[in-house]
Amino acid sequence: MKKLIDLHLHLDGSVPVDTIKELMIKHEMPMLEAASLRKKLSVSPQCHDLNEFLEKFSFAVNLMQTAADLRLITFELLKKLKREGLVYVEIRFAPQLHTEQGLTQEEVVRAVISGLDQFLIWQKEQSSSSPDLHATFLLCLMRLKGNDEANQETVTIAKKFLGQGVSGLDLAGAEMLEFAIRQYAALFQEARAAQVPFTIHAGEAMGPESIREALALGAKRIGHGIRCIEDQALVDKLIADKITLECCATSNLNTKVFDQLDHYPVRRLLHEGVKVTLNSDDMTVSNINLPHEYDLLEEKTGLTRQDERQLYLNAVNAAFCSAREKERLLSLI
């Protein structure tokens, strides 16, 4: 089994299907046939774009509104990731999306961290020879109308919980001109001042210019960023500045960034010297996991063991974790 690192995984897009079923029973919701439930949770090959992709999150988010449910989801997801060979993961979520039934953003974060604590106890009790899975959380600011106060609160909470389960921030949501990255400059300036690491979704639905905007705000990691290939000068800048891309192959296929994966440019960018990583993005929405992504790129693009080693090393170097944790991750290969 490969030892894997995932730097770009959304909690609400990766709720295990069995956990969804358990929560539906708990909340006395009508049970759906397997095909109908999958249709609500996952995209089809006919998915048109990022906006349609994002619609698949709503069903799971409705089941993520209490502390108990958030704790269970986090616990079950981490167990799943452990079984798939992950040794480190950064799970991202937007606390403001889980306050519909009265939780505060801080209570949301505490619930998710308690799910991690439960997992760590479970992991310690297992008689397994496989390496431990270490996890941390990124809090997402959201590209939404009228949520400036909510985004400000997320930054405040990230500062409060930094190093206590939370390791950074992200900017997520629909990429469009209405929510240009530069509009969030003050929030990321505050994050930089407080030494809170961050990544920004860019270069997926919107083109290379959105990546440049993210870099201008001080991002050292870019969520997706794959459309940098449209601008060689930008690729050269990514190499020179040692910027890490959080690439998500099947997700980019789902959102029609690419029509096929045979020429997905991870190997090309890797060999040019870009700090590329491979990640799952949304396991349930895309109906995949990280081992599947590696197998897929091996088949479609000729990804080699040496390529995979470099992807792992890139992920270790870019991870929002301590030097001690980086040493542990390096020792595993």
- Percent over 70 (pLDDT), the chain: 98
Per-residue pLDDT band for 282 (boundaries 50, 70, 90) equals very high
Domain boundaries, the chain: 4-331
**Length of the chain, please?**
333
Which spans in the chain are helix H? 17-26, 34-41, 50-55, 58-62, 67-83, 105-125, 148-161, 185-193, 208-216, 232-240, 249-254, 266-272, 290-301, 305-318, 323-331
Quickly tell me which residue has 């030097």 as its tokens. Answer: 323
Nearest residue to 252 (alpha-carbon basis) of 272, 282, 284: 282
- Percent over 90 (pLDDT), the chain: 82
pLDDT value, residue 216: 97
The Cα 250–Cα 293 span in angstroms is 7
Mean residue pLDDT across the chain: 94
Class of CATH domain 4-331 = alpha beta
Rg (the chain; Cα; Å): 19
Give the active site residue among 153, 204, 293, 308: 204
3 state SS of 146: coil
pLDDT > 90? residue 39: no
pLDDT in tens, 231-270: 999 999 999 999 999 999 999 998 888 888 898 999 999 9
3 state SS of 21: helix
pLDDT in tens, 6-24: 999 999 999 999 999 999 9
Strands (E), 11-133: 86-93
What is the model's pTM? 0.96
pLDDT in tens, 225-239: 999 999 999 999 999
pLDDT value, residue 259: 84
pLDDT value, residue 177: 64
22 catalytic per annotation: no
pLDDT > 90? residue 170: yes
